[in-house]
Chain A
């Protein structure tokens, strides 16, 4: 007789104790968040000239206007730090799926038209099960230069074309710091000298450091392997400013061309001689 009574009290008190912290019980009810994917590794789909692993969202279009002004060391006061002249790029891209972005652009300078594709392959995540430590995307771009040839030779139309391929591998270390490396291959149908390779290899290294919720410092460089003579590695530093629907990216760079093969492998300017350019990208997203 006594034992069941004791048992009853124990059970009763257990039940009461169990009701004490409802919040703790909620965790058990909460949908087991199997995976959470990292978002906003970079603010823009470009870091500066370099594409980032970010894609515009599904069913969204993105318009980008890029400017690169004149050289800072070319009579800076007379030319107002190069602002009197500008290279300009327009670009529009659309994401039919969350993992696919298709676009086309036109850059002044060598009057270059291009089409590009970016495919997100895997996403960095955290949670239960297997998690990728990095986000990986494949980016490819085909360009056509439309300025006339000046060497007096007969040329095929295909001589105007070049193709870039990059495997973008990025990791968001924390809310502040993100890094990206990208093995790069650019195939030129026509190279400056016969002895030079049509396939140009390189490694792009880029990073972002967030200053606050709306601003970030960015930097990027592309290290070339067995490069064309006369040209230099592109290196740029910049600042991202986000204002809701727009992203403004201001930067200083020695790469004045914005078309991919040109800034990657054919940058004629060097930082050490002051051959650097102010520039900006403005990104605007459209919901179709």
Chain B
């Protein structure tokens, strides 16, 4: 009788491990293009993400058409001319988090996100530093700022507007993750 408890214990542990997935359905992404002529910015807050606390694998995904601009015409150009969001509706970032994180211990952890980013249908190796903050309540917040270069993702910027769109786009991500 006592022995039969053991497998259930294992079962419970393995179920527990599978529940070590942290998910976010309201990841905030903001980008900013700064040139002397024009500043362009847009944001969304319905990005989704999963972090596997055990393996530290991560995956994030945003709908390009969710990016909201101040100017409707900019948004149309962004979707139609640059991101071609009808053909490439989503952008992804997946890979592994490297660096020490104690998920059960509140604190702030500086980590690296190493993986592959897909924008405009083009996949590129991409590594960025990130900060993972774990609150006493167990809330996990992942924040990262990085630079994306449109040309690396085959996003053509015609010479006519080259002075209006920065070669380096600053991106800010803030994702609040909860155990699923």
Contact = CB atoms under 8 A, between A and B. Distances in A.
Could you tell me the dominant secondary structure of chain A's interface residues?
A: mixed
A15 B18 contact: yes
A100 interface: no
B81 A1 contact: no
B49 A26 contact: yes
A4 B8 contact: yes
B61 A30 contact: yes
Contacts of B70: 287
A33 B21 CA distance: 24
Nearest to A54: B76
A18 B14 CA distance: 12
A60 interface: yes
A269 to B, nearest CB: 34
B170 interface: no
A244 B10 contact: no
Interface in A174-195: 175
Contacts, number: 99
A36 B65 contact: yes
B30 interface: no
Contacts of A11: 11, 14-15
Given A8-B7, A39-B76, A23 B164 contact: no
Interface stretch (B50-58, B106-114, B130-138): B50-58
Interface residues of B, number: 46
Contacts of B46: 31
B7 A7 contact: yes
Nearest to B158: A214
A57 B4 contact: no
Contacts of A245: 73
Interface in B136-166: 156, 158, 160-161, 164
Interface string A1-18: 100110110011001101
Contacts of B127: none
B48 interface: yes
B73 to A, nearest CB: 5
B48 A33 contact: no
A16 B14 CA distance: 9
B177 to A, nearest CB: 11
Contacts of B25: 29, 31
B80 A213 contact: yes
Contacts of B76: 39-40
A8 B14 contact: yes
Contact of B23 (A29, A57, A287): A29
A22 B54 CA distance: 13
A62 B161 CA distance: 21
Contacts of B80: 39-40, 213
A265 to B, nearest CB: 33
B81 A23 contact: no
10 interchain residue pairs of minimum CB distance: A57-B72, A15-B18, A22-B59, A4-B7, A12-B14, A29-B48, A213-B81, A26-B61, A22-B50, A8-B11
